[in-house]
Structure 1
């Protein structure tokens, strides 16, 4: 991606948390231009050409143009599409809190890239395995996912209650009137 395109995207993507502030990536169909040496590690850190990207604003800007397609991740602009590598989930939930919504009490998640999502409205929560370890995830835009950071999940675990879902019965959370099973009864 050229510096001119990145500058234009940084101006367009104002780093606000509202979905309306995201660039219209879903409307762009640029040609594939090759691979970029950018890796999002399983712990949520972003590395470019072997060096960690330390500026959170740069990570947030890149996250706004991230696209998931056919099991692969790309950074896209209106004119270019480059493939990057993601070890697990490209986003990381760092904070959560209970809020009141029109759907009742709900959990609001915030990612390390300042995305804000409401469980049961903007995203869903589930458990899955990564390299043999069971981990909690939430859904994100364009079919992507965010790993719920360990400290955030431990805080969330204090709110567990009995739930019944189509997947079974056990301990979970209820947010915006929807139940999420996190630990199934044996």
Structure 2
């Protein structure tokens, strides 16, 4: 699957066996491999992973690839200690599938991605909402890691909206949620 400058390297199955998906994330920020080119892999807007046009249906394989995902500027890569290959990401690489409230003071919002990663919103992991300029439809995101975001699925955003509190800011009604003492704007209403 990955191609080094001179020869092919491990198959996806061999890579899966080399990376323990139950351990902490690998130290991607410490790895500086050579760029080996782009591969025909993409992550669709709805979070599905494809390789050579076919969907990767094994959750363990998707989880393994997500653990070696890296972002530089606007580009995404799969990165190992010895190679870095470019992939296409249509929107953002992660899908946020659930949220729960934890802690008492300050309250925390704990999110789970489709690959099982857990992230608590706060200063390090902010929530942001983009509005479609034509439809006004919100697109909510959460910073996951290494500058990469996850898109909150509709049910998660609806849960946040249910917990949101109304505030008057500069004469406008704004709906917000708080996590780790940080307030996040979900929109006006």
TM-score over 0.5 (shorter chain): yes
Distance 1:14 1:148, change over 3 A: same
TM-score after normalising by structure 1: 0.86
1:178 to 173, 182, 185: 182
1:62 to 25, 44, 65: 65
Residue 153 (structure 2) aligns with? 149
Distance 1:3 1:158, change over 3 A: same
Report the Cα offset of residue 174 of structure 1: 1.0
CA contact (8 A) 1:13 1:23 kept: no
1:75 to 70, 75, 78: 78
Structure 2's unaligned 5+ residue stretches are: 3-8
Residue 93 (structure 2) aligns with? 90
Distance 1:56 1:80, change over 3 A: same
Deviations 1:85-122 (A, max 9, x none): 00001000001100117x62111000001110011154
Secondary structure of the residue aligned to 2:64 is helix
Which protein is bigger by CA-based radius of gyration? 2
| Alignment coverage as a number of residue pairs | 179
CA contact (8 A) 1:13 1:64 kept: no
CA RMSD of aligned residues (A): 2.5
Structure 1's unaligned 5+ residue stretches are: none
Higher share of residues assigned helix:
1
Which structure 1 residue ranges, 4+ long, deviate > 6 Å from structure 2?
none
Q: Distance in 2 between matches of 1:131 and 1:3?
A: 44
Deviations 1:59-86 (A, max 9, x none): 0100000000021000011111100000
